A and B are shown apart, each in its own frame.
Chain A
Amino acid sequence: MVIRSKTFRESYYEDIKLFQTVWIRVWIFLFLILLATLPLWGNPYVIYLINLSCIAVVAALGLNLLIGYTGQISLAHAAFIAIGAYTTAILSSKVGLPFWACLFASGGVAAAIGFGLGIPCLRLKGLYLAMATMSFGVVLENVLITWDKLTGGVRGINVAKISLFGYPLDSDSKIYYFLLVITVLVILGIKNLVRTRVGRAFIAIRDRDIAAEVMGVNITAYKVMAFTISSFVAGIAGGMYGYTMGYIHPEHFTLLLSIQYLAMIIVGGLGTILGSIFGAVFIILVPELIKGIARFSELLIPALKGKYNEEWNIAAFGLLIMIFLIFEAGGLHGIWGRIKTSFKNWPYTY
């Protein structure tokens, strides 16, 4: 029997495998075990934060596919999340469909509308595209408020609980696994997508659109495809959000949410999968961080007592985007890469 070190690759298949070394596989396995056992010993608040992070990771991946990979700036992401959330809400509470059907429908409806938005937006680039998509978001917010027969308007709408084989997922730690599984599937799916033909075409359009076209990429089709897939993923995230919150309201999906997602992918790293994950988790944790800092400074300086409120979070997002754009364009993913290299090369710095 031949025992291989697996340090050297013998086939092209080995060369394009997702997890290249045994160690990466071990680390990921350990991390997944940690996540899987968390409800047994974790604090419920931590579980709640992870639930929010899962939703954010999925939605951020969808946005990063569109902005980071294809280079099409969109400020309509919150709108597509809203479409997904409302589809799930209406189908689960008014029609009574099972959760998997609701999720697929959420993705499907969002994808169809994303396809519809993608076609007129094809000729727009950069800021103009941002404006067009932003106005779509504003319009949709108004539709959600005024079409109250369907959406419940400003009263909001309830989402039915998921029931898995007759067993209701009615608490944060129960819905946790459901969110985790979908998140892992979406991460793998997007990762696979961007390393195959379609993903290469997306990156090519971002880097040099004319060259991509001359090399045989149908830019029109691929831009629309990017919009569609991104909206599909956003729709799924919306469905996840609806199920987690149990109640949704038009105010949950304002322009601010789109900007928050933009912050996630910029802080995490544009055009990277790991960056979308880092950024999403980071931005979800930022309010906690600020709360912690506020509490700590209240102890130090009594005059600051009671000065903290939610508005500070918005300022912090703005500040974070600025800091990252100026000092670390690669985002958390770039920082991660540097840390990794320096450990790899240790103790030789070069």
Chain B
Amino acid sequence: MDQLEIKNLTLAFGGIVALHQVTMKIRKGEIHAVIGPNGAGKTSLFNCISGVYKPMEGDIRYEENSILHKKPHQIASLGIARTFQNIELFRHMNVIDNLLLGRHHRFRSGPLSGVFFWGRALREEIKHRRKVEEVIDFLEIEKVRKKTVGTLPYGIQKRVELGRALSMEPKILLLDEPTSGMNVEETEDIARFVLDIKEELEVTVIMVEHDIAMVMDIADWITVLNFGSKIAEGTPFEIQTNPKVIEAYLGEGS
């Protein structure tokens, strides 16, 4: 079943076309990788899905309903979570608070019960803390749970950011270069987490990634973008042998 459908999406900044007539279908429960050279429009695509950019043309449908005119926080509460290419954590909060913030839309208490720290606010703090601990457990970041995020090493911050998205209990997870700047071991860890997210948590994953080896190993379906247009899609094997993809990556005549 198509969980997310992107139809003829076009996005331009002034005269620069970031995305041109991009059409994609994301099936439930799959790992869908989006690859392409730098400037191909991968992150712009993510920004359109999460509502940060408003595309000029086309439509994005989540479970049959258009989310094009929704605000980012409304899209988040529908169950679409994401991470960012450059870590966008809340640097001065600790890990637990970052993850709790991910659960923001699941809280119901307002400022008044917060001021008294009583009744619903207190019950919710404890209830959601329990959920957050599950994510901490899943990602094996128990040791840093009370550390301020800004003081953590890069690889761990990446993992915390993944945790913040996961604690939203999303239905679709958008990962923007989850392994950028990581060494081989850290990349392996992330690959394992992504597979676990798909299999244990049953979350659909859409992933922008430059590590082609990892993409080929774990992705179920791949879309290739180049200069804002889709040039190919298919299974990892089909993509590997697609002449257009080879041309985009290595240049003509290779």
- B-binding residues in A (CB < 8 A): 11-13, 15-16, 18, 189-190, 192-193, 195-201, 203-204, 206-208, 210-219, 225, 229, 271
Contacts and interface: CB of A to CB of B under 8 A. Distances in A.
B115 interface: yes
Interface in B44-102: 50-52, 71-73, 76-77, 81-82, 84, 88-93, 97, 100-102
A116 B84 CA distance: 34
Interface string B118-150: 000110111001100100000000000000000
Contacts of B121: 192, 196-197
Q: Which of A16, A208, A216, A218 has the most CB of B within 10 A?
A: A216
Given A192-B116, A213-B52, 14 more contacts: A192-B114, A192-B121, A193-B115, A195-B117, A196-B121, A197-B124, A207-B91, A207-B92, A211-B90, A214-B52, A214-B73, A215-B73, A216-B105, A271-B92
A217 B73 contact: yes
B14 interface: no
Nearest to B51: A214
Interface of B: 50-52, 71-73, 76-77, 81-82, 84, 88-93, 97, 100-102, 104-105, 107, 109-111, 114-117, 121-122, 124-126, 129-130, 133, 164, 168
Nearest to A271: B92
A215 B164 contact: yes
Given A12-B129, A200-B101, A214 B114 contact: no
B127 to A, nearest CB: 9
B93 A218 contact: no
B84 A192 contact: no
25 contacts: A16-B129, A190-B115, A196-B109, A196-B125, A197-B104, A197-B121, A200-B93, A201-B101, A204-B93, A207-B90, A208-B89, A211-B89, A211-B90, A212-B101, A213-B73, A214-B50, A214-B72, A215-B76, A216-B77, A216-B102, A216-B168, A217-B101, A217-B104, A218-B73, A219-B73
Contacts of B82: 214
Contacts of A219: 73
Contacts of B89: 207-208, 211
B114 A193 contact: yes
Nearest to B124: A197
Nearest to B165: A215
Nearest to B109: A197
A213 B84 CA distance: 13
B114 A197 contact: yes
B208 to A, nearest CB: 15
A217 B100 CA distance: 12
B88 A211 contact: yes
Contacts of B168: 215-216
Contacts of B88: 208, 210-211
Contacts of B111: 193, 198, 225, 229
B100 A200 contact: yes
A62 B104 CA distance: 23
Nearest to B100: A200
A189 B77 contact: no
A199 B101 contact: no
A121 B20 CA distance: 36
Contacts of B77: 216
Nearest to B76: A216
Contacts of B51: 214
A201 B114 CA distance: 12
Contacts of B130: 12
Contacts of A189: 115-116
Contacts of B114: 192-193, 196-199
Contacts of A213: 52, 71-73, 76
A144 B122 CA distance: 42
Contacts of A16: 125-126, 129
Contacts of A229: 111
Contacts of B90: 203-204, 207-208, 211-212
A271 B91 CA distance: 13
B76 to A, nearest CB: 4
Given A16-B129, A219-B73, A201 B104 contact: yes
A233 to B, nearest CB: 11
A207 B84 CA distance: 15
Contacts of B92: 203, 206-207, 271
Contacts of B107: 197
Contacts of B73: 213-219
Contacts of A207: 89-93
B27 to A, nearest CB: 23
Nearest to B146: A15
Contacts of A218: 71, 73
A208 B93 CA distance: 11
A83 B90 CA distance: 34
A222 to B, nearest CB: 10
A200 B50 contact: no
Contacts of B129: 12, 15-16
> Which of A190, A218, A271 is most buried by chain B, counting CB atoms within 10 A of its CB?
A218
